């Protein structure tokens, strides 16, 4: 499996808002059918920097997509 990292500027010209909405709808449907792994997001707190890091991993089995 290869990892592909894209910026907002690289993605925006590739998809219309209508296409985005279709994919989001399908992802919510898959979640409702129990075919999505989406564990609770871990939080790391950095008191020294008054900040935090939140990671939101997920895997959509039917769509064969994993993302963070």
Residue 1 has pLDDT above 80, yes or no: no
Domain that holds residue 29: 8-67
Please state, for a pLDDT cut of 70, what percent of the chain lies above it: 100
**What pLDDT does 50 receive?**
96
Residue 22 has pLDDT above 80, yes or no: yes
**What pLDDT does 54 receive?**
94
3: in domain:
no
Domain count, the chain: 1
Indicate the pLDDT class of residue 18, thresholds 50, 70 and 90. very high
Residue 47 has pLDDT above 90, yes or no: yes
Q: Residue 19's domain is classified under what CATH number? A: 3.30.1780.10
DSSP alpha helix (H) spans, 1-68 = 8-11, 17-32
Q: pTM for the whole thing?
A: 0.68
Which residue, chain included where needed, has tokens 């990892």?
3
Q: How far apart are CA 11 and CA 17, in angstroms?
A: 12
């Amino acid at each position: 499996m290869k990892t592909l990292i894209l910026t907002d500027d690289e993605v925006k010209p590739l998809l219309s808002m209508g296409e985005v909405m279709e994919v989001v709808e399908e992802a919510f449907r898959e979640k409702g059918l129990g075919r999505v792994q989406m564990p609770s997001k871990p939080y790391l707190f950095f008191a020294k920097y008054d900040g935090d890091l939140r990671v939101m991993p997920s895997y959509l089995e039917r769509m064969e997509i994993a993302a963070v």
